[in-house]
Structures are given as C-alpha cells and as structure tokens.
A and B are shown apart, each in its own frame.
Chain A
Amino acid sequence: AQKVTQAQTEISVVEKEDVTLDCVYETRDTTYYLFWYKQPPSGELVFLIRRNSFDEQNEISGRYSWNFQKSTSSFNFTITASQVVDSAVYFCALSEALTGGGNKLTFGTGTQLKVEL
C-alpha cells in the first residue's frame, strides 16, 4: 500500500528564516508521481509541484525548492527567506498507478507552517 509520512506536525519560524518540510513515501510502483500542495486557511488546496519518479533533478521556483532523493524515498520542500504569507498547511502526496488507470492521491498528514514577524 502507498504511504506518505510527514513527521513534522507543526513548524514555527521567524520571517526570513529558511525552512524545510520533510516528506517520506512508500510505494511498490516503479513509476509514480509526487506532489506538494499548500492549503491556506481558506481551505483550497493549491498545487505547487509535480515530480515523476524518473526525474531526480532538484527544482527551484523562486523561493521554493524541492529535493527528490529516490534512494531515501524522500521529497523535501524548502522555502527560502520565509514570509508571513507562507503560513499554511503543506501536504505531500503520492499518486498511485491504479489497475485500469485513474487518479488517486495518497496524502501525508500535512505540516502546519507558521511564519511570524
């Protein structure tokens, strides 16, 4: 069975600090996709990134960067120079290759990030 673990329940940082959110996954699939979503207080899940299992290149998008390490089954997310607007719950998710196709995301329990002034 697929599993995603986000061991950090809550992280508090001061604005401008860098912060890394950890994600560890388990899957038997050889082809899979990993995602990060942001959930602000409004509730909507905002898509941040998708990475397939064959692409281990790190990715940077502005203040956001992602480190995918297949050897340790981890897909960590770093926010550089954090801002108050980054305060939200962040979810890591794994897509599952289902018999007959289909979309299904397995989510971690989320990490609540609080950025304070």
Chain B
Amino acid sequence: KAGVTQTPRYLIKTRGQQVTLSCSPISGHRSVSWYQQTPGQGLQFLFEYFSETQRNKGNFPGRFSGRQFSNSRSEMNVSTLELGDSALYLCASSFTSGNRGEQFFGPGTRLTVL
C-alpha cells in the first residue's frame, strides 16, 4: 500500500502571498489531519477532515483553512502569509476518526516565507 503523499515537498513564498498544500491519504483512509511543526512551537494540530467535513480545528487564525474531497484527498490553504508561517506542514491519515486511530504521516511540505 502506498503511504501518505504530500505535494509539493518544498515551497518558497513571500509575505502576503497565499499557498495551497496537498495531501493524499493512504488508500481506504477517510480521516486526514494537518499539523504544523516549527522549532519554537513544536508539533501543533491544525485541523482534521473526515468524510469531507472538518471535525476539529486547532488554535490557528482563520488564514489557515482546508478542505477534503470525495476521494479523501485534502488541501490546506494559508492566505496572507507571514514570516512565522515558515514551517514543516505534516499531513496524517487514519482509517477512522476517533482517538484510537493510528495516524500515519506523510513526508511533509517545508514552507519558507521570505
């Protein structure tokens, strides 16, 4: 089975721009979660999508949004980029949506904001 894939792997943007990151979960998995990893804040939960619905959202501003398609692929969008948005964005997929679900992570998208 193919693992979680994320595109692009690296991205460089400038302040004020917007960016869209993509995540394809493991086949058969319906839950996709997004995490932001920075040296200062560590790994922080952004949001989770299950069956095209956002189930939970972390403590991030409205500039961070996402969506999930009927094939479970998910996209994450960040508008009006700030320098502090530079981070590794990790996507995780899980078969179920519930706290016992094992989450399998993709390789991440490294976003640099200049």
- Write the residues of chain A forming the contact surface with B, with a CB cutoff of 8 angstroms: 31-33, 35, 37, 42-47, 50, 52, 91, 93, 95-98, 100-110
Is B99 within 8 A of A97, CB to CB?
Answer: yes
Does B42 make an interface contact (CB < 8 A)? yes
Closest to A31 in B: B99
Does B66 make an interface contact (CB < 8 A)? no
- Write the residues of chain B forming the contact surface with A, with a CB cutoff of 8 angstroms: 31, 33, 35, 42-43, 45, 48, 50, 55-56, 58, 88, 90, 92, 94, 97-108, 110
Is B107 within 8 A of A42, CB to CB?
Answer: yes
Chain B residues near A102: list those with CB within 8 A: 48, 50, 55-56, 97-99
A-B contact sample (10 more), CB < 8 A, given A47-B105, A95-B101: A47-B102, A47-B103, A93-B43, A96-B99, A98-B56, A101-B98, A102-B55, A105-B35, A105-B103, A107-B43
Closest to B108 in A: A43
A101 to B30, CA, bound (A): 14
Is A47 within 8 A of B94, CB to CB?
Answer: no
Chain A residues near B88: list those with CB within 8 A: 43
A46 to B58, CA, bound (A): 22
A61 to B112, CA, bound (A): 38
A31 to B99, CA, bound (A): 9
Instruction: With a 10 A CB-CB cut-off, give which of A52, A98, A106 has the most chain B CB atoms.
Output: A98
